[in-house]
Copies of this chain bind each other. A is one copy, B any other.
Amino acid sequence: MKKSLLFLCVLSTVIAWAQDIQYEDFTQFVNPFIGTKKMGHTFPGACVPFGMVQLSPDTDTIGYWEDGHYNNKVYEYCAGYQYDDPTIVGFSHTHFSGTGHSDLGDFLIMPIIGELQLNPGTADHPENGYRSSYRKKTETAEPGYYRVKLDEGAISCELTATERVGFHQYHFPETDEAHIILDLIHGIYNYEEKNVWTFIRVENDTLVTGYRQTSGWARTRTVYFAMVFSKPVKSYGHKKYDESVYRGFYRKFDEEENFPEMAGRKIRAHFDFKIEEHESLQVKFALSAVSTEGALKNLQAEIPHWNFIKIRQEAKYKWNKELSKINVETIIPDDKVVFYTALYHAFISPIIYEDVDGKYRGLDQNIHSSDGFTNYTIFSLWDTYRALHPLFNLVQPQRNNDMVHSMLAHFDQSVHPMLPVWSHYSNENWCMTGYHSVSVISDAINKGIFAGDSESALDACVKTAKYRLFDGLGYYMDLGYVPEDKNGSSVSKTLEYAYDDWCIAQIAKKAGRDDIYDRFMERSENYKNVFDPETGFMRPKLSDGTFRKEFDPLDTHGQGFIEGNAWNYGMYVPQYPGALVELYGGKKKFTEMLDRLFTLQLEDKHIEANEDITRDGIIGLYVHGNEPGHHIPYLYNYTGHPEKTQERVRMICNTMYANAPDGLCGNDDCGQMSVWYIFSALGFYPVCPGSDLYALGSPLVKSAEIDLGNGKTLHIKVENQSAENVHVKAVILNGKKLEGPFVGFGDLREGGEMVFRMK
């Protein structure tokens, strides 16, 4: 870039920033600590919307070696952070937001002073390592910015980020012995053998590159980095914690001190500095999944200077730009914080997964170029197809189009052939059931968001749905259901495959492929095959065609369901809610069943069996802390009792979400939990992604302006709104009263005004 051009770019950024000042600052309503306590699994660190770098303090991690034994803290540390923890291990650059499984936590940086410590130490004894205690009052988190003061050495730490670069700023006291620890062993879900290979290359006295290759949840994963310091390194070195030997060193070099190529399975490096009075040390840390060359390009493109405040401001600007897409007023102030924090969490992942030049590592581990789209990764699809991607269709249409393209690229690069199930970082981890990319694709195509080749998309969906090797799918194709004796969680799978079939049929219909449409509409009826009229429940069936004898509809384990039971998971027929009601005995009976669901108290043993949620996430048998039932509160709309939907939705909004570290009642799951709130607070919810219809609920907001990304704005006004007035008397869309408790995406997409009249 020529200097004059650079100047113009900088100028335009400044102007854009100045223009922005006239807008409201929505970042002030975000509390990144929501969900960082108990099971929310969010992280408080610095990132920009959909950024690859998510630079956040780790207070502990899942599965690390502690005092000679293996500390297996499953779940609690999926995002590396628990709000009440008294110590910080350091700041790592990659995190999942809200997941119930884990990985990442790459490239932990920790500043220390005095004697060099290369062991992290433990939470109980931070003094035995580089870990430090900290006081809660020194900790601040805003969108794109995090700050804390470490007790050890009184080091003030500030973090900010761009899409691909983390920016650290450390204020040390004056010292001859300041160290930056780069721990390549540290990681989340860091079972002892997760590290495959790690490499550090000191290019010169301020630039360091390298990579970390792991086999954890992602089986074959490599992340490259380029790190620069704001002042020259005085000395450096590393220690190896494995048996790997670099035979070339024999008689040639001292490997541990100032040798610029450090490598091994398990290494921790240190970089030593002399710090003057009032001097701060800055570290820029860029990531790439392609190469160190890619990381360096990302670094140079995104942060070509040392102006920390500017990057912090730009991060804030980027967040404001995204958060301002929905402008709400709420009844009470805390609801506004809950709302914008939910929106913040919704815009953290999927992450942009390509270098600034568009190169990315594909599922085939080869390097590809994202011509015509931006490549994304981290697709927690069993969670996010429900509401997150539908929300993107509403307010992030371009990004959702890119995400669909990313899924199709995954398919092209897959050997299976399948669309993503749960994929991250050029890997498929096959987590949970179904293949709900087809729902996301169907929803995007049917809502007109996908700008691409629909026929290829249809082909990818059909091939995915015919891959017999996958998870009982062969049985499903032969028998019309997954037999429990052949493949567990069989009822969940049967129900979800049937819904996915319906999604594929909708794509086929739009493409005019009647043959495919007919075949998949037929498959979409398979949910009936696991319904047992005798007990009135969905129930595991065996390969001989009989239902399995042992059956406890309250139990969540070994009953044919995954993370649910026959009561709540059994209500999963989103494609045919009307038929579901009939199957369960008609509107009256199903209404009673829903009533029982929300009031019957689970015994303790059943609550404990629900992973990922706190007791607060449960209302009767309804488990809001997990996803399978997220559509259930809206099912009253199909039994002639929309007022009960309105009551339940408002109740859940008020009791299951709060402006507090434990303000999420279960894993946020890459935003799905948060987006349930966003939709519900706005007054509608996508019960069946792939269809045009939203079910109406009871809005929590007083008003909302939604920027639809197509130049149009939808204004939501709620008349007579109050905490008590939860029932909706009428909904008027652009002057026309809606007939039932439903509204079409197509209607909303044109913008205008939707008025809820409350009573």
Residues of B within 8 A of A197 (CB): 196-197, 213, 215, 220
User: Interface residues of A: mostly helix, strand, loop or mixed?
Assistant: loop
How many copies the complex holds: the figure is 2
Please indicate the chain B residues that have their CB under 8 angstroms from the CB of A487 in the complex: 251
- Among A193, A203, A366, chain B packs the most CB atoms within 10 A around the CB of A366
Q: Is A753 on the interface with B (CB-CB < 8 A)?
A: no
B251 close to A489 (CB less than 8 A)? yes
Q: For residue A202, which residues in chain B have a CB less than 8 angstroms away from its CB?
A: 415
B247, A364: Cβ atoms under 8 Å?
no
Expressed in whole angstroms, the Cα–Cα distance for A247 and B219 within the complex equals: 8
A203: chain B residues within 8 A (beta carbon): 415
In the complex, which residue of chain B has the Cβ closest to the Cβ of A261? B415
* Chain B: minimal CB distance from A185 (Å): 16
Partner of A220, one of B199, B243, B247, B366: B199
**CB contact between A469 and one of B219, B258, B366 (< 8 Å): that residue:** B258
Asked if A430 meets B248 with Cβ closer than 8 Å, knowing A215-B197, A243-B193, A258-B469, the reply is yes
Return the CB mask of A279-296 against B: 1 if under 8 Å, else 0: 000000000000111000
Q: Mark A417-457, 1 if CB is under 8 A from B, else 0.
A: 00000000000111100000000000000000000000000
Q: Which residues of B contact A292 (CB under 8 A)?
A: 364-366
Cα A251 to Cα B470 with chains together (Å): 10
Residue tally, chain A, CB below 8 Å to B? 49
A196-B213, A252-B430 provided; 20 other pairs, C-beta below 8 A?
A193-B243, A199-B220, A201-B364, A203-B415, A211-B365, A215-B246, A216-B247, A217-B247, A219-B248, A248-B430, A250-B430, A251-B471, A251-B488, A252-B470, A253-B430, A253-B469, A259-B469, A291-B365, A291-B367, A293-B364
A153: Cβ under 8 A from any B Cβ = no
| Cross-chain contact B196 with A291 (CB below 8 angstroms) | no
Q: Contacts A215-B244, A470-B252 hold; do A293 and B415 have CB atoms under 8 A apart?
A: no
A23 located at the interface, meaning its Cβ lies under 8 Å from any Cβ of chain B in the complex:
no
- Shortest A84–chain B CB gap in Å is 29
A132 to B291 alpha-carbon distance, docked (Å): 43
A407 at the interface (CB under 8 A from B): no
Assembly CA distance A199 to B196 (angstroms): 13
Q: Which residues on B sit within 8 Å (CB–CB) of A470?
A: 252-253
CB-defined contacts of A367 to chain B, threshold 8 Å: 291, 293, 367
Chain B: minimal CB distance from A701 (Å): 40
Q: Are B431 and A248 in contact (CB under 8 A)?
A: yes
